[in-house]
Amino acid sequence: MSQVLDAMFERKVKPQEHVIDQGDDGDNFYVVERGLYDIVVAKDNQSRCVGRYDNHGSFGELALMYNTPRAATIVATTEGALWGLDRVTFRRIILKNNAKKRKTYELFIESVPLLKSLEASERMKIVDVIGEKVYQDGERIISQGDKADCFYIVESGEVKILIKSKTMTSKEANQEVEIARCHRGQYFGELALVTNKPRAASAYAVGEVKCLVMDVQAFERLLGPCMDIMKRNITHYEEQLVAMFGSSMDLLDPGN
Ligand code: 1OR
Ligand code: 1OR
């Protein structure tokens, strides 16, 4: 950690400045200190904004990790500040850490039912991007109504999902009701990322919990092949929702 911090340098950016251009060789990895940045991908002669960093997150790791051309263009849309890490230091430190992560998480990631349909190389890339977070008993992991930027897989312990329902009377509406529990190998926090809506429920640790966490950009980049399974499971939430609260709202339809 201290070696990374020592090697990092600040880069100030202006609106419309390209921090990274798709197709270039990779020089630096960047951590966002502040500012908004569009992720633009050109494909078949068309450029599309596929996401953004909002005062948070990091980018530019792919070209350095896999020795590939830059996979996207990153454009600042406001004034901003970044912390950069040069390629040589990034590879020396981060790649060593990635090798360790692969050893630690390979077997567990193989056992996660959601990820079964992925190729071994795709699962490796998931290991490369995941972080681990530990929560204490009762700690809130996700808060209903919040903006979402992460996806979670339970590595150990138990997570309970609670919901405050709009369909209940006002007195009951502020009370949370338990609707599900997640155990080792199960995932949560996908719904808001898939629907682009606020968190539909809250998640709390039951006892000490370890979760693997992935940011929304990695979720969209790497979990496309698992999207059908997640969407199918979301339709099961809807059936449960109707059974529990008698409401027939469509969780997958943003219009509702
Ligand atoms: P890089 O070194 O390739 C561009 O330089 C960076 O954009 C890349 O590392 C990532 O850190 C970041 N696909 C590719 N790169 C992405 C994506 C992405 N999102 C962020 N980056 N997505 C798939 C697009 C078809 C995800 C969109 C949310
Ligand atoms: P999220 O990003 O909305 C809360 O953040 C998470 O709780 C959600 O993603 C799901 O991963 C998880 N309805 C809504 N969210 C649920 C449900 C659910 N179960 C788990 N989550 N159900 C219907 C509500 C009555 C499922 C009942 C079994």
Q: What is the mean pLDDT of residues 94-103?
A: 91
Tell whether ligand 1 has an atom less than 6 A from the beta carbon of residue 70: yes
Q: Residue of the nearest CA to atom 18 in ligand 1?
A: 221
* Ligand 2 midpoint to CA 186 (Å): 12
User: What is the residue-averaged pLDDT of the chain?
Assistant: 93
* Ligand 1 midpoint to CA 51 (Å): 9
Q: Which atom of ligand 2 is nearest to the CA of 161?
A: 7
* Ligand 1 midpoint to CA 73 (Å): 8
The answer to whether the pTM exceeds 0.85 is yes
Tell whether ligand 1 has an atom less than 6 A from the beta carbon of residue 63: yes
Q: Residue of the nearest CA to atom 22 in ligand 1?
A: 221
pLDDT at 112 over 80: yes
Q: What is the pLDDT of residue 240?
A: 86
pLDDT at 246 over 90: no
pLDDT at 2 over 90: no
Q: What is the mean pLDDT of residues 17-36?
A: 98
Tell whether ligand 2 has an atom less than 6 A from the beta carbon of residue 188: yes
* Ligand 2 midpoint to CA 111 (Å): 22
Residues 132-155 pLDDT 10s: 999 999 999 999 999 999 999 999
Q: Is 27 in contact with 86 (CB distance < 8 Å)?
A: yes
Q: Is 15 in contact with 78 (CB distance < 8 Å)?
A: yes
pLDDT at 169 over 70: no
Tell which wins on pLDDT, 60 or 253: 60
Q: What ligand is nearest to the CA atom of residue 37? A: 1
Q: What ligand is nearest to the CA atom of residue 150? A: 2
What is the share, in percent, of the chain residues with pLDDT greater than 90?
84
Q: What is the pLDDT of residue 253?
A: 65
φ/ψ of 130, rounded to 5, equals -75, 150
CA distances for 249 relative to 79, 165, 194, 235, angstroms: 40, 11, 16, 11
pLDDT at 27 over 60: yes
Q: What angle do helix axes 87-111 and 120-129 make, rounded to 10 degrees?
A: 120
Q: Is 150 in contact with 209 (CB distance < 8 Å)?
A: no
Tell whether ligand 1 has an atom less than 6 A from the beta carbon of residue 26: yes
pLDDT at 121 over 70: yes
pLDDT at 95 over 80: yes
Q: What is the pLDDT of residue 256?
A: 45
Binding residues for 3',5'-cyclic AMP: 61, 70, 190, 199
